[in-house]
Amino acid sequence: MQPVEFDATQTVRILSPDGKLEPSAAAEPYAERLSAVDDAFWFTALRHMKFARAFDREATNLQRQSQLALFVPCEGQEAAQVGSALATRPQDAIFPSYREHAVAHVRGLDLFHVLRLLRGVTNGGWDPAEQNNFRNYVLVIASQALHATGYAMGQRFDGACGTGDPERDEATIVYFGDGATSQGDLNEALVFASSQQTPQVFFLQNNQWAISVPVRVQSRTPLYRRADGFGMPGVQVDGNDVMASWAVTQHHLDRARAGEGPAFIEAFTYRMGAHTTSDDPTKYRSGDEESHWRALDPIDRLERYLRAAGVAATEITEVDEAASDFASDIRRRILELPDPDPIEMFAHAYAEPHSAIEQQRLDYLDFEASLSEEYSE
């Protein structure tokens, strides 16, 4: 697959690959938003990005050492995730897929919970009400789009948007990948979002590969143009530019909270690692392609900008050390996790007690008791 060249007339880019403020023509409606934040804000973004990458690499190592059943890397997509997440407000609802570790970190989720899920010691991971409205991961491709649209319909019906009060008005953002755009669930969600004018942003991370299928096979046109068919604004951003991701997402979340309906953002980025730790990307993509995108690394881009802006090398080193300590602490906590009691699987199947589940629980206890009797004879 040949790398796709950047199109300044169509794609929103603010920060160039060499870390300079060079807004593209398409960035004009959004670039002025940068005046509302300073370099301390972007240093915070860099910290989130570095923590996410350190976590990503440590988790990959844990899976390779048989400490996790599976891991889903996000390396390369940190700018798209951190930029968009920093544009959300506390009252907003976030619906991830299964790769949004950097989004989770920005929203304050302890990433230890993500690995508990992937280690198989929890059936859900966390209570969204206790985690800044960051919903649970899903493995069924695009199903979260329907969940998000239903939730956003509820926000509109409840009068939680369009009041003119920015501290009260809510929006929903849902994350998905390019592979999800070929799923019926996503397209149905887009239909309902448009018809019901939900306060919602559809945030597509186009990382170029749906497992081993390149995006050019899935779509003959840029994916953001699909928004036209659903009657909502669509925009493509350089997904390796954290500033562009933040500015565009903030703009469309503001629109959504104001009651102006949904929007579709395509973050054009790249998955540097495997789809999950169960596949080998060298079997379906070239080293030249990976090298092309490695040169566009989103963390390096922001770091170049901050160094040129006067951030001391010692400050960046301190972030690197803190990120390493963070990842090491995640490893320690995972290795100390006890195995769950199998009986717990029956405790939270339903919100209220259910006779069928109770019977299954009793049958399981009888089975366990029969094994004990068999081995004692």
| pLDDT value of position 123 | 75
| pLDDT value of position 149 | 98
β partners of residue 177 = 205
**Is residue 331 domain-shared with residue 349, that is, in the same domain?**
no
- Which domain CATH number covers 36? 3.40.50.970
Tell which residue, 258, 260, 257, 107, has the closest CA to residue 175.
107
Is 5 contained in some domain?
A: no
Task: Per residue of the chain (377 residues), give pLDDT as tens.
Answer: 444 556 778 999 999 999 999 999 999 999 999 999 999 999 999 999 999 999 999 999 999 999 999 999 999 999 999 999 999 999 999 999 999 999 999 999 999 999 999 998 887 778 999 999 999 999 899 999 999 999 999 999 999 999 999 899 999 999 999 999 999 999 999 999 999 999 999 999 999 999 899 998 988 899 999 999 999 999 999 999 999 999 999 999 999 999 999 999 999 999 999 999 999 999 999 999 999 999 999 999 999 999 999 999 999 999 999 999 999 999 999 999 998 888 888 887 888 999 999 999 999 999 988 987 666 65
β partners of residue 213 = 210
Is 322 contained in some domain?
A: yes
Is 72 contained in some domain?
A: yes
Tell which residue, 259, 189, 271, has the closest CA to residue 230.
189
* Domain count of the fold of the chain: 2
- 348 exposed, middle or buried (CB, 10 Å; 0-12, 13-18, 19+)? exposed
**Is residue 119 domain-shared with residue 75, that is, in the same domain?**
yes
> Contact 1/280 with Cβ under 8 angstroms?
no
Is 4 contained in some domain?
A: no
**Is residue 267 domain-shared with residue 358, that is, in the same domain?**
no
Tokens for 268, please give them.
Answer: 């054009």
Tell which residue, 307, 352, 319, has the closest CA to residue 52.
319
What is the DSSP code (8-state) at residue 21? B
H helices of the chain, in order, are 28-31, 39-64, 78-86, 101-106, 112-119, 143-157, 184-196, 215-218, 226-230, 242-257, 287-294, 298-308, 313-335, 355-376
| Domain of residue 348, residue span | 342-376
**Is residue 364 domain-shared with residue 282, that is, in the same domain?**
no
| pLDDT value of position 119 | 93
Contacts (Cβ under 8 Å, ≥6 apart) of 46:
299, 302, 303, 306, 316, 319
What letters, b where the CB count within 10 A reaches 16 and e where it falls short, cover 252-267? bbbbbbbbebbbbbbb
SS3 173: strand
Is 319 contained in some domain?
A: yes
SS3 11: strand
**Is residue 229 domain-shared with residue 189, that is, in the same domain?**
yes
Is 1 contained in some domain?
A: no
**Is residue 134 domain-shared with residue 151, that is, in the same domain?**
yes
**Is residue 357 domain-shared with residue 247, that is, in the same domain?**
no
**Is residue 276 domain-shared with residue 130, that is, in the same domain?**
yes
Q: Please report the sign of the dihedral spanned by the C-alpha atoms of residue 48, residue 95, residue 62, residue 333.
A: positive
What letters, b where the CB count within 10 A reaches 16 and e where it falls short, cover 71-101? bbbbbbbbbbbbbbbbbbbebbbbbbbbbbb
> Contact 238/72 with Cβ under 8 angstroms?
no
Tokens for 97, please give them.
Answer: 């897929």
| pLDDT value of position 140 | 93
> Contact 16/245 with Cβ under 8 angstroms?
no
Is 151 contained in some domain?
A: yes
| pLDDT value of position 41 | 98
**Is residue 275 domain-shared with residue 179, that is, in the same domain?**
yes
What is the Rg, in whole angstroms, of the alpha carbon atoms belonging to the chain? 22
Task: State the pTM of this model.
Answer: 0.93
> Contact 167/229 with Cβ under 8 angstroms?
no
> Contact 176/200 with Cβ under 8 angstroms?
no
**Is residue 142 domain-shared with residue 268, that is, in the same domain?**
yes
Angle at 53 between CA 52 and CA 56, to 5 degrees: 85
**Is residue 267 domain-shared with residue 369, that is, in the same domain?**
no
**Is residue 314 domain-shared with residue 369, that is, in the same domain?**
no
> Contact 92/171 with Cβ under 8 angstroms?
yes
**For the chain, percent helix, then strand, then coil, each to nearest 5?**
50, 10, 40
267, containing H or E segment: strand 263-268
SS3 110: coil
> Contact 189/148 with Cβ under 8 angstroms?
yes
Is 160 contained in some domain?
A: yes
